[in-house]
Structure 1
């Protein structure tokens, strides 16, 4: 990767020197040709050459992490918090690893919504055909029948999903900080539909 970047840096310097010299039309043609060549170089592709495959575990245990009794994500063997820079100088690979872990955490939160919060996953629209677009929500048994109170929680946009406030908080802090679970449990305690 460093060789590719060094070559790219040399080409960039050469183009800048050619522009400074403001030579004749021959130099301008070389500069234009080099700019064209540089525009075709895909830096992401060059960076992929030296990185390991983007294959990651599909369970928390596979990542060697668990949520402890305080709801904090911790390494199984060391008890340490999640480490983003697992591989030095491989930012793209580390980011993909983080995203893969985030998908597993989403599934984990969905399980908690169903098991601990006693919510049901409901597909919307309820009468959608196979070819129609669909989504889903989680709701308590009394969500549509509770005559007094209904709590509606809406997550943000981006990578957060149902039941989450922020994936970053789940990974770096704890489940109580990053999920809607404390609010859902409190609503159940005071007989609110969710």
Structure 2
């Protein structure tokens, strides 16, 4: 089984386990203190081939997943149930302890990024920013899409895209301010 995307894992033992199960390339975070260099590599990998985040089913693994998902919106996610990631001792869990079959199944069931992210940006904020309705709404959405790197959306899709890419209210407000400042400069 060949995996097109680059798989983000926690460490070398996870890479070994992945390569036993599938033909894939990996990026190792080397623990839960994910540094800027690793994030930049993941961003580049996401742009070039796509990324699947495949971390251990424990607190540090979930922490890494959230860090990566926040820094690199749009990642895919593979999840391994704890019972399929148990070490023989039964005390530790991790991708490195999973069977090749369990890893292949998790990768076959990859999920698009959904997360439990709930933006503070509501529909009224879009209307108030002039992004829905009005003569300049389309142009503003185009500029906003470039600034936030979420692409162009119509009015109905903008809210969904802000959620999907986990755009914070602060980032949204800053981008809207730049769009409106650009209009005033004309």
Greater gyration radius = 1
Higher normalized helix content (fraction of residues): 2
- TM-score, normalised with respect to structure 1: 0.26
